[in-house]
Structure 1
Amino acid sequence: MFRPVSVFVGLRYTRAKRRNHFISFISLISMLGIMLGIMALIVVLSVMNGFHKEIQERILGMASHATLSDPVDGVADWSRLVERVSAHPQVVGAAPFVEIQAMLMNAGRTNAALLRGIVPAQEDAVSDLRQDMQLGSVDDLTPGSFNIILGTELAAVLGVRVGDKVTVVTPQVSATPVGVMPRLKAFDVVGLFEVGMADYDRGAGFISMADAATLMRLGDNAEGVRIKLRNMFDAPLVAREIAYALDSEQHETYLVTDWTQVHRNFFAALRTEKRMMGIILFMIVAVAAFNILSTLVMVVTDKRSDIAVLRTLGASPGRIMGIFMVQGTTIGLAGTLLGVVGGVLLGWNVESIVAAIERAFDVHFLDPSIYYISALPSDVRAADVLLIGGGAFLISVLATLYPAWRAARTDPAEALRYE
């Protein structure tokens, strides 16, 4: 089979048992360095992807992908609005809501909380509240019952359990003989839920939408409609499409919000964390690539006489340069392939590996009593793997340019003077 001279000689140099074993050792270390760096980068980013996905699912299991609301006057015919929104092909479900920024009190204990008034039969279409219930049932939130479901941590802070009462203080005020007073209403605690996110477990509660509307003096109106979409990343576009359609067809104007606005800072912080962690770990690959550079520099020095002979036999500077580029690229390619394969396999099985280590040594890396996410989730993404593998290989190729250029500039007469 025909092979260019540069490829043939470069591969032969890579396979040959060199007189200088130190150079062989450095080549092996370079390859292992690239392999370990890529493995570490793939596994760490996969675990970060897993944590981010888990957190995102927990947040969006309670928060809506998008909302259409009228916080001033409310939505009178909210059932028609739900039907109109649900007709959009990208909408999975829609449900009415009323939200109240309230203060909860019990036996001298107080805590601020976001109360959401819901219709239990329709809430299942937009949230996972029913699956997150620890005690009680969502169906107990009937109109006029003034029942409430609290997060487990919020209930602990207030010192209440199922069957106890809690006083809700709303921003609405009432005129009394002694002056203007905030509105207070006693609610019966009928259930507890746990999402695994402190923002909800310690700062949220659910009541009947009819009861919430009564507290906020909205009558039979809802504050708006919460929307769940097939693809949550389309939320900004789809929500505005629906709002524009309602405005143009029925002259109804609503305030549009989506999860990218409500949780923008949090998810931006997660993206920044992943990006910075990737840059830091990629330095490991860069160091290994510099080892390739140093290895090739030593090889060029060791092979000066061989280079001179090849030049006298008619090899061009470009062909000499190609020989050492092939040698360095082979080391980088081998390290990259081994690292990608090892990283993907480890990323796919990291959860079971960690679980096996915990069972074998009777330890818990993520104590369930402390951390909400006690397992080690992993999400290996093809885009990350391709970017890491391609970047590592590119750095390896670039590391070969300077030594190969030095080899191409070797003067045959000077190299053979003392031979």
Structure 2
Amino acid sequence: MNTELFIAKRIYRGDKKNEKRVSSPAIKIAISGIALGLAIMLAAVCIIIGFKKEIREKVIGFGSHIQITSFDSNSSYEHHPISFSDTLKNRLLSNPKIARVQKFITKPGIIKTDEDFLGIVLKGISDDYDWQFFKKNLIEGAIINPNDTSGINRAIISQNIANKLHLKLGDHFTTYFVQEPVRARRFTVTGIYETNFEDYDKLYVLTEAKILSGLNDWEDDMVSGVEVLVKEYNQLDQTAQDLFFEMSNYQDRFGNRLYTRSIKDINPMIFNWLNLLDMNVWVILILMILVSGFTMISGLLIIILERTNMIGMLKSMGARDFSIRKVFLYLSAFLIGQGMLWGNVMGLTFCILQKEFNILRLDPATYYLSAVPIDLNPWYVILLNVGTLIVSLIMMIAPSYLVAKITPAKSIRFE
């Protein structure tokens, strides 16, 4: 039988006659410190990871993981055309890390209504486009159906643009394109989306690639660029690097060398900002673990002082210091476990309620989101619990050495 564990259980639970269960105010505060610390850590990790995931998905939704364009293209939205052949498509899809390849055309224009005008960028998409992101953020209308034979120039605009130009579903607007000669096209609003990512919402209008191709007098295989979606986000950097060297040696039928950039290269400010959030997580974790650990240290010291008579009795019967220390370490584990149980209940309850009901709201103009995001990943919950338990127990080792300072002769008379 594990004697130390048996004694620790008796101290923790007490008995029905004389012994009282561990219940001093300091111990309750220590347990509450562990519970509150773990709850805050769970909430902080789930919120920060959820925030990073939501922002990242919005940026990728507009620009994919990797973009391949011509080396001759500049930083404007009027790209130098490249040839998107079946050979290039098959070559990209042969890479096991790539999930999808889709072509696009972008062209800047000016929307003119009876009362207002606004500069925008039209993004022309084809029947190979992945609509998953815009389906999620579509608030009115429908996505562009490539098999539609209505003959109208369909456009999906953002709620931001709709509000500025006083447009609604089914309305028509004219877009002017600054080129030689200046051209204009009339579009019909067939969908309205809202991502709350203002930098893009105020800019992009989705339409069919063939409309923009006709404006540019391009041939069927000519596009502004190719968007590549990878299977795993953590493979993005390596895949982009591999494609950069592969595509820089590739030439299309016009002799263009292809330039590869990941979404991180295209939007370095946003991704550097998201990376800084990791530091916030670590600061919160370290502070909460330290606070929780110190409250448990004070609680353990109080327990040792309360049990001075017992320690003296055990020593007088031949118990070693190491054995008595194990008793109090087992007891610390019980108390930490109790605090962690309540911490998980509080933290997970908050995360689930926020995820389901969006109780805490945000200003989309400032945070790009309408509510506090939650990413409830079970692996993070398990790692936080294991890490909290290990670190807290390690912090209990030092105060347990106080047992060695207690002598049987004095401790038995201790009141």
Fold-level match, TM-score > 0.5?
Answer: yes
Please name the residue that 1:180 is paired with: none
CA contact (8 A) 2:251 2:258 kept: no
CA contact (8 A) 1:100 1:114 kept: yes
Look up the SS of the partner of 1:196 in the other structure.
coil
1:57 aligns with 2:65: no
Please name the residue that 1:224 is paired with: 225
Q: What TM-score, normalized by structure 1, do the two folds share?
A: 0.77
Q: What TM-score, normalized by structure 2, do the two folds share?
A: 0.77
CA contact (8 A) 1:148 1:187 kept: no
Please name the residue that 2:305 is paired with: 301
Q: CA deviation at 1:288?
A: 3.3
Look up the SS of the partner of 1:387 in the other structure.
helix
**Structure 1 letter corresponding to 2:162:** A
CA contact (8 A) 1:91 1:230 kept: yes
Partners of 1:295 and 1:168 in 2: how far apart?
73
User: Structure 1 pair 128/32, CA: closer, same or farther in 2 (3 Å)?
Assistant: same
Match of 1:334 among 338, 341, 357: 338
**Structure 1 letter corresponding to 2:378:** A
CA contact (8 A) 2:14 2:21 kept: no
Look up the SS of the partner of 1:340 in the other structure.
helix
Please name the residue that 1:238 is paired with: 239
**Structure 2 letter corresponding to 1:165:** F
Q: CA deviation at 1:229?
A: 2.7
Question: In the TM superposition, what whole-angstrom CA distance separates every residue of 1:69-113 from its partner, at most 9, and x where no partner exists?
Answer: 115442135454334323433333322222234444445744343
% identical equivalent positions: 20
Q: CA deviation at 1:264?
A: 4.0
CA contact (8 A) 2:48 2:277 kept: no
Q: CA deviation at 1:3?
A: 0.9
Please name the residue that 1:168 is paired with: 176
Which segment drifts farther, 48-57 or 291-300?
A: 48-57
Gapped regions of structure 2 (runs ≥ 5)? 74-79
Partners of 1:310 and 1:367 in 2: how far apart?
59
CA contact (8 A) 2:34 2:293 kept: yes
**Structure 2 letter corresponding to 1:153:** N
CA contact (8 A) 1:86 1:94 kept: yes
Partners of 2:209 and 2:295 in 1: how far apart?
66
User: Structure 1 pair 145/222, CA: closer, same or farther in 2 (3 Å)?
Assistant: farther
Alignment of 1:11-410 (within 5 A): 11-16=9-14, 24-70=24-70, 71-72=72-73, 73-107=80-114, 109-119=116-126, 121-124=127-130, 128=134, 132=138, 134-135=140-141, 138-139=144-145, 148-161=155-168, 162-170=170-178, 174=180, 184-191=182-189, 192-197=191-196, 198-213=198-213, 221-246=222-247, 253-273=257-277, 275-277=279-281, 279-280=283-284, 283-340=287-344, 343-344=347-348, 347-348=351-352, 350-352=354-356, 354=357, 365-366=360-361, 378-410=374-406
**Structure 1 letter corresponding to 2:30:** S
Q: CA deviation at 1:42?
A: 1.9
CA contact (8 A) 1:64 1:227 kept: yes
Match of 1:411 among 404, 407, 410: 407
Partners of 2:362 and 2:52 in 1: how far apart?
19
CA contact (8 A) 1:163 1:188 kept: no
Partners of 1:126 and 1:346 in 2: how far apart?
29
Partners of 2:287 and 2:306 in 1: how far apart?
29
CA contact (8 A) 2:152 2:187 kept: no
Partners of 1:377 and 1:415 in 2: how far apart?
55
Question: In the TM superposition, what whole-angstrom CA distance separates every residue of 1:104-163 from its partner, at most 9, and x where no partner exists?
Answer: 4445744343322333x2224786469837347625899x97765432311332344544
Gapped regions of structure 1 (runs ≥ 5)? 175-182, 356-363
Count of matched residue pairs: 396
Partners of 1:395 and 1:235 in 2: how far apart?
34
CA contact (8 A) 2:66 2:227 kept: yes
Please name the residue that 2:77 is paired with: none
C-alpha root-mean-square deviation of aligned residues, in Å?
4.0
Partners of 1:293 and 1:77 in 2: how far apart?
66
User: Structure 1 pair 229/411, CA: closer, same or farther in 2 (3 Å)?
Assistant: same
CA contact (8 A) 1:147 1:187 kept: no
